[in-house]
């Protein structure tokens, strides 16, 4: 154990002291925050005030656009009506300070057409969609009036339904939230998917590098290959766990920082007492927001985070052992490495696709068995845990995963002990199968 501890310490300290580790650790959450914050910031910079003159020959708007005239629109557009002829406006609109002309000619209300926008430059797609939406809404109102219908009655006929999730178990009835469960489960499953690739590949490259540089020959003179493999797996796994902890802290700090910059309140729980005072929200929307906030407070984060760490470690140990075995068998040959790693990466890729279907149907047969089988459970089961599946399924999955990575480590160790000292030979899977039965 002492020798394994020394190897773990060496692998851990060697990597966390590297400049690349520090750069990746601190730049990753900053990059994520920038990807989220920059579009908001650029959106504000790209907002341009536009003065548009409307030639409404069809009297569609009756000389007034509701909620917009005399006030700045959400699209930073101002509207002014003018009864001049189109040729006159084409000659004078720029001198009058307008950016464009919206021409609404007389048209058949049942077959509207002929609308045009004149400007010195190509109209932006956002502005075009906005103008079309305003015209469409006005035509709809005209059609309602022509049909002799009461607009207020039609408005009251519209309905928005929100189905509350109710989960029945032995303890009775409790509230659920499918949307929140899908978000949490998806984030956990995808995070483990990324970890398996990043740190599994890091481990394999480290083994190949030491084997190519003949450093391993010196190390195995004092420790057994099995001890060396375990030390490398645990050491690099500790690096990954450290990086995750730092990311969580940095994301928490950056959330506060960007919240102060963009004026976004830090608290995830809204002040429910003020929702009803917001006239822009309907009663159904207020009810839905209230349900989301209440459900957020009911989430058992201790359980979710605990199982996430377990599946993070279990999945890493399982696949890291396989990557270590492949690294010990492969030479510094890209084709040979690719052919050997292909069977390992396929289950990981398939698992992420199954996870997406699991988010949609967490109780399907495919989701159940994929969350039990060790090769896919590290990615699929965290997505199901967010849906509060039965504890017996989680325990069964955990037992299978422990057996899975224990067997995988034994399997990988028998390959590692032979492959780590073998040079110059292109290894095939048939050759690997023979190594499993070599005697010590």
**C-alpha–C-alpha distance, residues 234 and 255, integer Å:** 31
Q: Which two tokens stand for residue 343?
A: 């069977």
Per-residue pLDDT tens over the stretch 80-110: 888 888 888 888 888 888 889 999 999 888 8
- Res 306: pLDDT: 87
- Res 351: pLDDT: 92
Residue 350 has pLDDT above 80, yes or no: yes
Q: Which of 62-71, 94-103, 125-134, 135-144 is the least confident region?
A: 62-71
- Res 120: pLDDT: 87
pLDDT band at 417 (very low <50, low <70, confident <90, very high): confident
Which residues make Cβ contacts (< 8 Å) with residue 364, sequence separation at least 6? 357, 358
- Angle subtended by helix axes 225-262 and 301-329, to nearest 10: 130
For residues 250-284, b (16+ Cβ closer than 10 Å) or e, as one string?
beeebbeebeeeeeeeeeeeeeeeeeeeeeeeeee
Q: For the chain, give percent helix, strand, coil, nearest 5.
A: 65, 5, 30
**C-alpha–C-alpha distance, residues 321 and 204, integer Å:** 9
Per-residue pLDDT tens over the stretch 351-389: 999 999 988 888 889 999 999 999 999 999 998 888 878
Average pLDDT over residues 245-262: 67
Q: Which of 35-44, 115-124, 187-196 is the least confident region?
A: 35-44
- Res 125: pLDDT: 84
pLDDT over 90 percentage in the chain = 10
Helix (H) / strand (E) containing 431: helix 429-435
Tokens 């990981």 — which residue?
348
Asked if residues 25 and 17 have their Cβ atoms less than 8 Å apart, the reply is no
**C-alpha–C-alpha distance, residues 350 and 343, integer Å:** 11
Q: Which two tokens stand for residue 132?
A: 């079309």
- Res 46: pLDDT: 58
Asked if residues 254 and 27 have their Cβ atoms less than 8 Å apart, the reply is no
pTM of the model: 0.65
Q: Which two tokens stand for residue 250?
A: 């940095």
- Res 109: pLDDT: 83
186, β-bridge pairs: none
* DSSP assignment of 203-268: HHHHHHHHHHTTHHHHHTTTS-HHHHHHHHHHHHHHHHHHHHHHHHHHHHHHHHHHHHHHT--S-S
- Give the residue, 309 or 41, on which the prediction is more confident: 309
- Res 288: pLDDT: 55
- Res 395: pLDDT: 93
Which residues make Cβ contacts (< 8 Å) with residue 200, sequence separation at least 6? 316, 319, 320, 322, 323, 344
Average pLDDT over residues 2-28: 79
Residue 397 has pLDDT above 90, yes or no: yes
Q: What is the mean pLDDT of the chain?
A: 76
Average pLDDT over residues 426-436: 70
- Res 13: pLDDT: 83
What does the DSSP 8-state code read for residue 111? B
**C-alpha–C-alpha distance, residues 357 and 368, integer Å:** 11
Asked if residues 328 and 204 have their Cβ atoms less than 8 Å apart, the reply is no
- Res 269: pLDDT: 42
Asked if residues 152 and 364 have their Cβ atoms less than 8 Å apart, the reply is no
Residue 262 has pLDDT above 60, yes or no: no
**C-alpha–C-alpha distance, residues 62 and 113, integer Å:** 18
Per-residue pLDDT tens over the stretch 39-55: 666 666 556 778 888 88
77-81/50-56 β-pairing: parallel
Average pLDDT over residues 135-163: 79
Domains and CATH numbers, the chain: 48-146 (3.40.190.10), 178-435 (no CATH)
What does the DSSP 8-state code read for residue 124? P
- Residue 316, CA distances (Å) to 34, 374, 403 in order: 29, 11, 14
Edge-first strand order for the sheet with 100-104 is: 77-81, 50-56, 100-104, 116-118
- Give the residue, 202 or 346, on which the prediction is more confident: 346
Helix (H) / strand (E) containing 281: none
From the CA atom positions of the chain, what is the Rg in Å? 31
Per-residue pLDDT tens over the stretch 269-301: 444 445 444 444 555 555 555 555 555 556 677
- Res 329: pLDDT: 75
- Res 261: pLDDT: 56
Per-residue pLDDT tens over the stretch 221-230: 677 766 777 8
Per-residue pLDDT tens over the stretch 47-79: 677 888 888 888 888 777 765 433 344 457 888
Residue 12 has pLDDT above 70, yes or no: yes
- Res 428: pLDDT: 66
- Res 282: pLDDT: 52
- Res 73: pLDDT: 44
| SS3 sequence of 51-107 | EEEEEECCCCCCCCCCCCCCCCCCCCEEEEECCCCHHHHHHHCCCCCCCEEEEECCC
């Amino acid at each position: 154990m002492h020798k394994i501890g020394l190897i773990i310490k060496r692998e851990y300290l060697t990597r966390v002291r590297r400049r690349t580790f520090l750069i990746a650790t601190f730049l990753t959450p900053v990059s994520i925050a920038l990807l989220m914050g920059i579009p908001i910031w650029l959106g504000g910079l790209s907002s341009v005030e536009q003065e548009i003159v409307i030639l409404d020959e069809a009297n569609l708007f009756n000389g007034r656009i509701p909620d917009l005239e005399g006030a700045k629109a959400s699209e930073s557009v101002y509207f002014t009506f003018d009864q001049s002829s189109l040729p006159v406006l084409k000659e004078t609109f720029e001198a009058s300070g307008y950016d464009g002309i919206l021409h609404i000619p007389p048209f058949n209300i049942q077959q509207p057409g002929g609308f045009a926008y004149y400007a010195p430059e190509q109209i932006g797609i956002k502005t075009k969609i906005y103008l079309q939406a305003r015209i469409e809404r006005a035509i709809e109102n005209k059609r309602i009036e022509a049909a002799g219908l009461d607009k207020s009655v039609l408005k009251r006929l519209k309905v928005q339904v929100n189905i509350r999730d109710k989960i029945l178990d032995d303890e009775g009835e409790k509230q659920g939230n499918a949307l929140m469960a899908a978000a949490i489960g998806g984030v956990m499953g995808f995070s483990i998917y990324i970890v398996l690739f990043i740190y599994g590949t890091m481990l394999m490259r480290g083994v190949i590098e030491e084997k190519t540089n003949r450093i391993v020959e010196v190390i195995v003179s004092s420790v057994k290959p099995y001890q060396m493999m375990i030390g490398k797996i645990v050491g690099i796994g500790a690096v990954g766990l450290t990086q995750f902890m730092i990311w969580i802290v940095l994301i928490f700090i950056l959330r506060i920082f960007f919240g102060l910059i963009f004026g976004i309140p830090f608290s995830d729980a809204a002040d429910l007492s003020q929702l009803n005072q917001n006239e822009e929200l309907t009663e159904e929307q207020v009810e839905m927001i209230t349900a989301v906030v209440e459900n957020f407070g009911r989430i058992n984060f201790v359980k979710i985070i605990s199982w996430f760490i377990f599946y993070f470690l279990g999945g890493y140990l399982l696949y890291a052992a396989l990557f270590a075995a492949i690294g010990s068998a492969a030479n510094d040959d890209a084709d040979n490495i690719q052919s050997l790693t292909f069977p390992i990466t396929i289950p990981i890729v398939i698992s992420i696709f199954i996870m997406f279907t699991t988010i949609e149907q967490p109780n399907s047969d495919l989701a159940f068995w994929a969350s039990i089988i060790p090769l896919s459970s590290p990615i699929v089961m965290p997505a199901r845990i967010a849906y509060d599946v039965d504890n017996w399924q989680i325990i069964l999955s955990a037992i299978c995963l422990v057996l899975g990575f224990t067997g995988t480590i034994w399997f990988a160790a028998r390959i590692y002990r032979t492959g780590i000292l073998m040079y110059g030979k292109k290894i095939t899977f048939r050759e690997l199968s023979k190594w499993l039965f070599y005697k010590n």
